[in-house]
Amino acid sequence: MHILKSRGKKRTLQQEKVGTKKSVQKIKKTGSNPRTRRGKWISAGYLFPSAAGVLLFFVLPFMIVIYYSVVDNPISHQFVFLDNFVMVFQNAAFQQAAKNTLTFSAAAVPLAVVLSLLLAMMLESKIPFKSQFRTFFLSPMMVPIASVVLIWQVLFHYNGMMNEILAFFHADKVDWLNSSYAQVVIIILFLWKNLGYNMILFMSALSSIPKDIIEVAVLESASSFQIFWRIKLRYMSSTILFVTIMSLINSFKVFREIYLLKGEYPYDTMYMLQHFMNNTFSRLDYQKMSAAAIMMAIVMVVIIGILFLTENHFGKDVEG
Amino acid sequence: MKRNRKIILAAVLFGILLTALAGCKKSSGGNQEGEGGVKEGSVYVPEYAQLDLTCDYMDSSAVSGDTLYISASIWNEDTGNSSVVYRYDLIGNKAQKLYELGENENVYGMVTNEDGSLTMVCGSDDYVYDENWEVISGGFKMTVYKISSEDGTVIEEKEITELFPDSEYIYIQRVCGDAQGNLYLSDGNSTIYVLDKNNQLLCEINTGDQWINSMASSKEGDVYACVDGKLKKIDLAGKKIGEAAQNIEVGWGDTLYTGLNSSFFVNSNNQVYVLDLAAGTKETLFNWLDVDVNADDVQYVGELSDGRIWAITRAYKEEGGADYELIYLTKKDRSEVTVKDEIIFGTMWMDSDIRKRIIDFNKSNDQYRIVVREYGADDYETGLIQFGADLTTANCPDVINLSQVDFAQYASKGVLEDLYPYMEKSGIKKEEYLENILKAYEVDGSLYGIMPVFYINSIAAKTSLVGEDNGWTLTEMLDLVDEVDPPYVMMYDSRNTMLWYCVYQDIDEFIDWESGECFFNGEEFARALEFAARFPDDEDVDYSERESVETLLHENKVLLMQTTLSSVQEYQMMKGMFGEEITYVGFPNKEEKGNLIVPASGSFGISSKSQYKDGAWEFMKTLIEEEYQDSLVQQHGSWGFPIRIESLEKQFEQDMTPEYDEDEEGNQIERPKTTWGYNDFTIEIMAATQEEVDAVKALIASADKISGNTDQQIINIITEETEPFFKGQKSAADVANIIQNRVQIYVNENR
C-alpha cells in the first residue's frame, strides 16, 4: 500500500516535471512570461544602485577627465585635441615624475612580492614564534600613516637616528630626504608598510594548495625546489597576480607618504606622478592633470594586461 | 525590443546622473536666508529722509516707543560747543528742542523712565589750560538731571561729582537703567557705577581686564554688557559681571539696544539682529549692504511700533563736517520690489571705500544691483580656498577682487575678461591712465585687472649713500651694507624679514620663467642667505629695546627703511625724518626695478563666465572715471595715488599750492597745509616743491610690478630648507642646491 502510494506520487512528480519543461519551452517561444519579466525588473532594481554608483563615481568622472584632456582649459573649453598630451609629455616635471614613478615601481613591486612570498614561506615552515612574527610583520598596517611618517622623519632626518648611527662609525652625515638616497628611503618605507599584508595573502594561498598533490610529489621524490616551482608557484599564480597588482597600485599611492614627508615639491628623486597631478589640480590646470591621468591609466592598463597574460600562461594547467 | 529596453535603462541612469549634477548650479546670491540676512521672500526696503535738525555731531540717545531723545552739538569757533537735547518724533520725522545744556556741558548718556521723564548724566568742566595744555585752574563736575520729556522742564538735578573723589576727570561712556530705576554708568576704565533711584551710589563693579564694548537694558529690564565678545548680565546682588548668556554669541563690536519685541536689538559690524534671551535665539534681520546703507555710517538704530526699522547715519563730507540722514527700512515681500539683475562681487575682504561705491551704484543704477560675497568674513583660510574653487566653476563671481589671488594664473586659464575692449567701448582712453600701473595687470597685451588707487612699497635710504636712482641690485645693496656697516641695517631686521626683502620681494631675480632656469645655486642667493644669517631669529629680537626709528635715522644708526608711499606729503615727512634728501631705492632687483605697486583698495577683474559683463563693467567704470578719481585728490592722497593721470596731476598741483595766513599787518604768511607724524616724530607739511613732486613722479614711473606676488610654494620651500643653514647644520651652498632642486620642479611644472 505504502509502495503503491509512493509510486503514484512519483508518477505525479514526473508529470509535473514534464509539464514544467513544456512551460519553459513555451516561454522560450513567446518570451513574454509575466513572472520572468517581473524577475528581470526586480534584478534590474537590485542592480540599479550599484550601476548608478559606478556611473556616477567612476564612469562619469572618467568621461569628464577625458573631456578636460582635450580642451584648452575648464573655462573657455576650446577643443585642442592632443595638444595637452603633447605638452604634458614634453614637460620636464612630468618626465621626471614618470621616470621616478617607473623606477620606484620597478624596484618596489618585485621586492614587495618576492620578500612577502619568502616571509610567507618562512612562516609556513615549522619555526618558533610564528605567531609573534606574523603579528610583527602585520603591525605596520595598524599604524596611522601620519605616525609612520613621523617615525621615518625621526629615522631619516638630517639629525635623525640613521645619521647618529653613521656618526658612531665616523661616517659623514647623509641628507637622506634631500638627495639621491631619497628613493631608497621611500622603497624601505613602502616595503615596511606593505610586506605584512602581502605575506598574509600568500600564507592563505599556500594553505589552500591541495596537500595530496604535495604528498604525491614527495612520494615521487621531488625536491623542495621542484615542489615550490612546479606546484606551489603554479597554484599561487592568481594570488601572485593579485598581490602584484595591489602592490603596483600601492606603489602609486606612495605619494601620500612623500607628501607628508616633504610636501608638494619634494627633492626631485621623490617627485612622483601623483605629485604632478595633485599640483596641477590645485593650480586649476585640469587639462594637464587630465592628460597625465589618462597617460598613466593607459600605462597601468597595459601593465595589468601583461600581468594577466602572464598569469594565464603560468596558471593555465592549474584547476581553480 | 530587448535593445530598446537597454537604451531606456541607460537613459534613466543618465537622467539620474544629470539630476545629481543639477545640485551644482549657480547659487542665486543674496536671496536665501543667511546670505545678506534677508529671509526668502522678504526684503527690507530703505527710504531716506532729511533729518529735522542740524548739528555737527550727536552724543547720546535714548528711545521710548517711537520717540528718540538725542543730544546734538554744534561747534562754533567764537562761542565754543553748544549742546541741545531734542525730542524726536521718529514716525513724523519732527524734532522738538527739549533742553539746552550749559557751556562746556555734554551729555554722557540718558535713559527714559517709566513715568515718562528723561534722566540725563552730564559732565562739564571749566579747566583753564596753559599753552602746553597743562591745567592752570578749574574743575570737573558731573550732574544727573531728571527732565520732563514733554517740555524739558528740570524735575530734579543732583551733582554726583563726589561719587568719584579720586578722579580728576571722569568720562562716562555708557549709561543705562534697569527695571528698578537704578542707573548704570560705565567709564572707560572697566568700572560700572550703579546709582539708586535717589542717585546714591549703590556699588561699583570692576570688570578687571574685561573690556565693555556695549551696555544696555534688556526688554525684560535687566542690564547686560557685551564683554570680550560675550553677552553678560550685570549681577547687582553679587556686585560683579555675571556669566555669559548661554547659546548666545555676540560680536566684539556689537552695539546693544533695548528690543521692542525681543530682549535686544543689536547693530553688528555689518548686520542687524535681534536676541531673545528666554528662547536663546538670535535672528538676523538684514545686512546693511543689502539695504544700501554703509554700516560704517550708522550711528543709531532701532525699531518702530509699525514694524519698520529706523537708522540715523552720519557720512563725513570731503570738505569737513558730516551729513546726517534718517533712514526707514520697511519689510516687504520680494514680489513687491523691482527686481534687478544681480552682479556678484567676490572678495576676500571688503574695503570701506569700495563698499561706499557699491552702495552708491546700487542706489543709482536701475538695471543692476551688486551683491557682495565676502569670502574671508568668517574663516579667512577656508574662504580663500572657496574663493579659488568658485573662480573656475559656474559659481564664479561677476566682479572679482584680484588682490588676494594670482591674477596671471587665472588670466591664463581664461577666467578673466580683457578689459581694454570695455574701456574702448566706453570711450575711456588708456592713454589717460598711468601706463605702468595698467601694465601691472596686463598679460600679452590684455588687461585683466584694474586698481583704482595704489601706493608704492619700497625701501628708502639717504641719497648721499645710495644715489638718486630708484633701483639697485642685491649685490649693490649687500656691498653698501658691508661698506657702511651700520648698527642696524633696518629698523625691523630679523632674519626672515631680511630674507623677505632680499629674496621674496623679487623672486624673479632667481628664476627665469622664460627658459625655466633657476639660479638659487648661484653666488647671489648664497650671499643673500649669508647676509640674512647675520640677523637674529624673529623670536630672539626685541624691537622695543631699540630707540625710535626717527632717532636712529638722525643718528645714522639705521641704514635703510622699508616703507610705503601714498602721497607727496608722506614723501615730505620721510624726508624730514631722514633729515636730508632721500631716495626710494626699492627692494634689490637685478633689473634695478624694486619699487612695487600695491593696490590700495583692491584690484578688480570681470569673470569671463559672467552673465552680466556689461553691468560688471558699468560698476568698474565708476572706479576709474573722473568723478571718483578726482574725489581721491580731495583726500590728499591719504589712501594712495589715483591712476588717472589728470587726477594725479591735480593732486600734485594741490600738494604744491601754498596756503596762507594773514598777519596783523596784512602780510601773507605761508602756513602749514597739515601735520604728519611717525611715532613721536611730527612735521608740519608746507607746499611741496617741484623737485619733491618730480621725485615722487619718478618713483611711481619706476614701479611696474605688483607687491607680494611671490608664490607661497616657493616661500615654503625656501623657509623650510634654510632652517638648517640658519641653525648652522648645513652650509649655504648645500641648502641652495636643495632649494634649486625643489624649486626647479615647481618651475618645470608651471611651464
Q: Which three cell numbers, joined as nine digits, stand for A207?
A: 594553505
**CATH number for B606:** 3.40.190.10
**A23 and A101 fall within a common domain:** no
The pLDDT value recorded for residue B167 is 64
> Is residue B560 included in any domain, yes or no?
no
Work out how many domains chain A is built from and give that number: 2
> Is residue B392 included in any domain, yes or no?
yes
Work out how many domains chain B is built from and give that number: 3
The pLDDT value recorded for residue A318 is 60
Q: Which three cell numbers, joined as nine digits, stand for B293?
A: 546703507
Whether pLDDT at B1 is above 70: no
Q: Predicted confidence band at B28 (pLDDT cuts at 50, 70, 90)?
A: very low
Cβ contact B231:B275 at 8 Å: yes
Cβ contact B573:B445 at 8 Å: no
High-pLDDT (> 90) share of chain A, %: 48
Range in A107-121, B54-68, B351-365 with the lowest mean pLDDT: B54-68
The pLDDT value recorded for residue B635 is 67
**B260 and B358 fall within a common domain:** no
User: Is A265 an 8 Å CB contact of chain B?
Assistant: yes
> Is residue A113 included in any domain, yes or no?
yes
Q: Tell me how crowded residue B615 is: count the other CB atoms within 10 A of its CB.
A: 23
Pairing of strands B453-462, B596-599: antiparallel
What is the residue range of A43's domain? 18-69
Range in A177-191, A222-236, B343-357, B363-377 with the lowest mean pLDDT: A222-236
Range in A59-63, B334-338, B641-645, B669-673 with the lowest mean pLDDT: B334-338
Q: What is the mean pLDDT of residues B693-715?
A: 88
**Shortest CA gap A194–chain B (Å):** 28
**A277 and A219 fall within a common domain:** yes
Nearest by Cα to B473 from B494, B459, B491, B485: B459
**B355 and B313 fall within a common domain:** no
The pLDDT value recorded for residue B412 is 81
**B447 and B416 fall within a common domain:** yes
For A158, how many CA atoms within 13 A lie in the half-sphere containing its CB? 16
Spatial neighbors of B58 by CB under 8 A, at least 6 apart, are: B70, B71, B72, B73, B299, B300, B312, B314, B324
**A101 and A164 fall within a common domain:** yes
> Is residue A13 included in any domain, yes or no?
no
Which of B13, B392, B717 is nearest residue A74 as measured by Cβ atoms? B392
**A233 and A110 fall within a common domain:** yes
- Asked if the Cβ–Cβ distance from B17 to A280 is below 8 Å, we say no
The pLDDT value recorded for residue A320 is 47
SS3 A141: helix
The pLDDT value recorded for residue A47 is 92
Nearest by Cα to B264 from B239, B287, B283: B283
Q: Predicted confidence band at B211 (pLDDT cuts at 50, 70, 90)?
A: confident
**B118 and B42 fall within a common domain:** no
Cβ contacts from A onto B, under 8 A: 82
pTM of the entire structure? 0.75
> Is residue B386 included in any domain, yes or no?
yes
What is the residue range of B121's domain? 47-270
Q: At what angle do helices A182-207 and A145-156 cross, to 10 degrees?
A: 130
Whether pLDDT at A198 is above 80: yes
Place of cell 530705576: B181
**A54 and A199 fall within a common domain:** no
**A57 and A187 fall within a common domain:** no
Indicate left, alpha or beta for B599 from its phi (over 0: left) and psi (-120 to 50: alpha): beta
The pLDDT value recorded for residue B57 is 81
Instruction: Tell whether the torsion through CA atoms of A296, A297, A299 and A304 is positive or negative.
Output: positive
**A148 and A32 fall within a common domain:** no
**Regarding predicted confidence, which is higher, B454 or B213?**
B454
**B306 and B417 fall within a common domain:** no
Nearest by Cα to B289 from B249, B230, B367, B342: B342
Dihedral of the alpha carbons of B516, B518, B519, B520, in degrees to the nearest 10:
170
Nearest by Cα to B98 from B60, B44, B136, B126: B60
Spatial neighbors of B399 by CB under 8 A, at least 6 apart, are: B343, B344, B345, B346, B370, B604, B605, B606, B607, B610, B616, B619, B620
Q: What is the mean pLDDT of residues B539-561?
A: 86
Q: Predicted confidence band at B544 (pLDDT cuts at 50, 70, 90)?
A: confident
Place of cell 543618465: B14
> Is residue B666 included in any domain, yes or no?
no
**A30 and A143 fall within a common domain:** no
User: Is A37 an 8 Å CB contact of chain B?
Assistant: no
- Asked if the Cβ–Cβ distance from A284 to B392 is below 8 Å, we say yes
Range in A26-35, A238-247, B483-492 with the lowest mean pLDDT: A26-35
> Is residue A216 included in any domain, yes or no?
yes
- Asked if the Cβ–Cβ distance from A75 to B414 is below 8 Å, we say yes
DSSP assignment string, A274-294: HHHHHHHHHTT-HHHHHHHHH
Whether pLDDT at B442 is above 90: yes
The pLDDT value recorded for residue B22 is 44
> Is residue A28 included in any domain, yes or no?
yes
> Which one of B270, B300, B323 terminates a domain?
B270
**A31 and A58 fall within a common domain:** yes
> Is residue B42 included in any domain, yes or no?
yes
Pairing of strands B399-401, B341-347: parallel
**Shortest CA gap B273–chain A (Å):** 38
Nearest by Cα to A239 from A317, A134, A135, A314: A314
**A52 and A121 fall within a common domain:** no
Range in A49-63, B154-168, B365-379 with the lowest mean pLDDT: B154-168
How far is CA A68 from each of CA A55, A78, A277, A284, A286, rounded to the nearest angstrom? 18, 10, 13, 11, 6
**B301 and B387 fall within a common domain:** no
Q: Predicted confidence band at A46 (pLDDT cuts at 50, 70, 90)?
A: very high
pLDDT per position as a tens digit, A268-297:
999 999 999 999 888 778 889 999 999 999
Whole-complex ipTM: 0.81
> Is residue A285 included in any domain, yes or no?
yes
**B315 and B366 fall within a common domain:** no
**A286 and A220 fall within a common domain:** yes
> Is residue A103 included in any domain, yes or no?
yes
**B370 and B406 fall within a common domain:** yes
User: Is A263 an 8 Å CB contact of chain B?
Assistant: yes
> Is residue A10 included in any domain, yes or no?
no
**A197 and A262 fall within a common domain:** yes
**CATH number for B231:** 2.120.10.30
> Is residue B748 within a helix (H) or strand (E), and if so which, with residue range?
helix B732-749
Q: Which three cell numbers, joined as nine digits, stand for B247?
A: 547659546
Between positions 68 and 87 of A, the ones with CB within 8 A of B are 72-76
Q: What is the mean pLDDT of residues B350-357?
A: 89
Nearest by Cα to B412 from A76, A180, A114, A265: A76
Q: Which three cell numbers, joined as nine digits, stand for B654?
A: 594741490
**Shortest CA gap A280–chain B (Å):** 8
> Is residue A254 included in any domain, yes or no?
yes
**CATH number for A252:** 1.10.3720.10
Spell out a b/e string for B215-227, using b for 16 or more CB atoms within 10 Å of the CB, else e: bbbbbeebbbbbb
Q: What is the mean pLDDT of residues A89-104?
A: 94
Chain A residues with CB under 8 Å of B749 CB are: 91, 93, 276, 279-280
Chain B residues with CB under 8 Å of A75 CB are: 392, 413-415, 608-609
